[in-house]
Amino acid sequence: MSLLDASPFLRRVLLADAAASAATGLLMALGAGPLSSWLGLPEGLLRYAGLVLLPFAAFVGYVGTRQQVSRAAVWTIIVANAVWAIESIMLLVLGWVAPNALGHAFVIAQALAVGVLAELGYFGVRRSALLPA
């Protein structure tokens, strides 16, 4: 298993990702009912997505608190963020959901934020040194 000496930049990105994922996860899991009404998105989708984010946030937070991190763990986080962002946009483009205008804005905003986190994670990996095996 290859390890990275995580740069301060990468650790900050991971901790920001963990905090945003935890906050969004709690909001969607606990507030799925009201959010569904406001956004025009299915309550079950909001609750499920929120519940998925909570263990993800814990994992990202754990990785973000380490000086030496598994390169595979960081790449898993980056890829998961990229997939989340793409699938969020696909929800709208392919018509899998039919939210109102506020719902469209919510989906697009969180997709952009997660996409930025994926990109920042990539930059963080490039700033981190690969440790000898």
The reported pTM is 0.94
- Model pLDDT, residue 132: 81
**What does the pLDDT profile of the chain (133 residues) look like in tens digits?**
799 999 999 999 999 999 999 999 999 999 999 999 999 999 999 999 999 999 999 999 999 999 999 999 999 999 999 999 999 999 999 999 999 999 999 999 999 999 999 999 999 999 998 888 6
DSSP E strands in 42-128: the ranges are 68-70
CB 92 within 8 A of CB 39: no
Distance CA 117, CA 9 (A): 12
Domain positions in the chain: 3-128
